[in-house]
Amino acid sequence: MDNYKSNLLNDGNKQLNFLRNSEDTNQENPKTINVEKYNSFITQIKKETQKNDYVEVYFYLKKFLSIFSHKEIATNDILFSELALALASYLEFHITNKTTEYAPQELINTIFHTFNLMLTHNTNAVVISQLFEIFQKTKLYQIIPLILQNSNQEVTSELFKFLCLICYQNEECMKYVFSIVSDEKIHNLIVSEETSPKLFEDASNLIQIVALYHINDSNFNDKFYEYMLFFLSFSNIIAIRNGYQILNNLTKNCPQKMREIVPNSIELIHKVERHLSTETISDILQPLITVLGMMCMHGYDLHLYPLLNLIQFLEHENASVRMLAAFAICNALTTNKSNFPEESHLQIFYIMMKIVNDDKYNVKSFFSQTLPKVFTILPVSVYPKLVDDNIFDTFQKIAMDDQIMKTNDCLLLLRAIDSLFQATDTLGTFDQFSHSFEETGCLDTILQTEFNDPATTQAIDCFMEKYTSRKHSL
């Protein structure tokens, strides 16, 4: 672009700043739209596109965006469809014919920003469909890869937002977006060391969506795993969070490929070690702990991963992090038990007991469901100590929770009590068991509960028959 045209664009920006300060541009409380002014702007922009005067197109379009609210732009259906057609046609003509001097970066960015406003703020499905027809008719989709290869990061970021909005429209749009982010040149653009934090965020948002809805074992592309690792490498919170969500989506949608890659992925292991820390914010911990729990639930071999570090999050200040940690630990103790030394099992159980008893974290119900599951992995030798440490006081609190006792989760509690009964009887500590079981009110609470499930009623009857018989034998 020559200096003359560049200076005109700069002057246009200065005028726009003046307009923003002098006119009513309140986006939250817009006035009733001035239809005559609205029409005149669109007519003027269309006329300038036909004249190929890109400076005037840029100026009037930016002025248009500054004067009218986003809602006003998006709700005048016929008018903004005409605007979309004019802008898309103008852009397609000059990109296809390589007359890019008529489509500078500032104008491209503003045009796609306008499209994004149209797609974001309009709720009329018919109009949205018309917009997609315009994009297809003008071959806008075909020129996006060309624009991306030669655009600055601000334009690329706006384009990624556009791709996020269109990929939900139908399967063809999703395949189209998938092909773009799978392209080698686009991949290199995203993973460049010069990528800005804003572009990190927009790229990670886009790839997270594609990983969720489109990728599977049959079309798996190594680039998506590389994207995920790349997003986890920096200090951008949104990119890191999306990186772990991408990992979660890949493990769900591509289990065959991911089982081959994840267990020995040293780079991923190092990133998990770095982020699985109390210094990490909750926005990152939540998707990280979630994906660890999901992988354990689906039987991934994670013996090289720092799963033991999950224990510290059982008492985290964030309730969601606490519950996710309990979820992940329960699954890990089932499928990756070797990561946890035997003494840690009891440590985990006592932390959960404390939480159920104190309820200061407002997560009692969730931990009440989790505690009996952890009980199943404890060695029988610790059962008498658990009785001495008032485990039945904790079990009584769980038994008072209708959310548990009215579901199949109560069977886990009953099995835990039955296991304690049998073990203490064998170890000669039945008296302590019986005293604590009754004095804490745990037995009465269970007997007073009305169960709708025949299997639960049968399990209680069977236990009470054994328990009563044993008491009478004393």
Query: Mind listing the pLDDT tens digit for each residue in 318-331?
Result: 999 999 999 999 99
Closest CA to 206 of 153, 164, 155, 159: 164
pLDDT tier for residue 216 given thresholds of 50, 70 and 90: confident
Residue count (the chain): 474
Question: Lowest-confidence range among 150-154, 200-204, 328-332, 360-364?
Answer: 360-364
**Using an 8 Å Cβ cutoff, are 30 and 68 in contact?**
yes
Q: Which residue has the tokens 């224990």?
A: 311
Question: Lowest-confidence range among 40-44, 161-165, 265-269, 438-442?
Answer: 40-44
Burial of 365 (0-12, 13-18, 19+ CB in 10 A): middle
On the question of pLDDT at 27 being above 80, the answer is no
Give the residue, 408 or 31, on which the prediction is more confident.
408
Taking residues 56-72, what's their average pLDDT? 80
On the question of pLDDT at 403 being above 70, the answer is yes
pLDDT tier for residue 173 given thresholds of 50, 70 and 90: confident
On the question of pLDDT at 7 being above 90, the answer is no
Identity of residue 188 = N
Average pLDDT taken over every residue of the chain? 86
pTM, to two decimals: 0.81
Distance (Å, whole) CA 72 – CA 70: 5
Taking residues 207-217, what's their average pLDDT? 87
On the question of pLDDT at 226 being above 70, the answer is yes
Taking residues 279-306, what's their average pLDDT? 97
The radius of gyration of the chain from alpha carbons, rounded to an integer in Å, stands at: 31
On the question of pLDDT at 447 being above 70, the answer is yes
Predicted confidence at residue 132, as pLDDT, reads 85
Distance (Å, whole) CA 292 – CA 307: 8
**Using an 8 Å Cβ cutoff, are 240 and 268 in contact?**
no
Name the strand (E) or helix (H) holding 352.
helix 342-358
Distance (Å, whole) CA 266 – CA 291: 17
Enumerate the domain spans of the chain: 1-23+33-166, 371-474
| Residue 269 neighbours by CB under 8 Å, 6+ apart | 304, 305, 306
Closest CA to 114 of 145, 146, 91: 91
Closest CA to 91 of 159, 37, 38, 40: 159
Distance (Å, whole) CA 16 – CA 62: 7
Distance (Å, whole) CA 335 – CA 297: 7
- In the chain, the percentage of residues whose pLDDT exceeds 90 is 50
On the question of pLDDT at 70 being above 70, the answer is no
Per-residue DSSP letter, 279: T
Virtual CA dihedral for 151, 153, 155, 161, nearest 10 degrees? 130
**Using an 8 Å Cβ cutoff, are 113 and 156 in contact?**
no
Predicted confidence at residue 14, as pLDDT, reads 39
Predicted confidence at residue 75, as pLDDT, reads 60
Give the residue, 194 or 327, on which the prediction is more confident.
327
Predicted confidence at residue 23, as pLDDT, reads 38
On the question of pLDDT at 2 being above 50, the answer is no
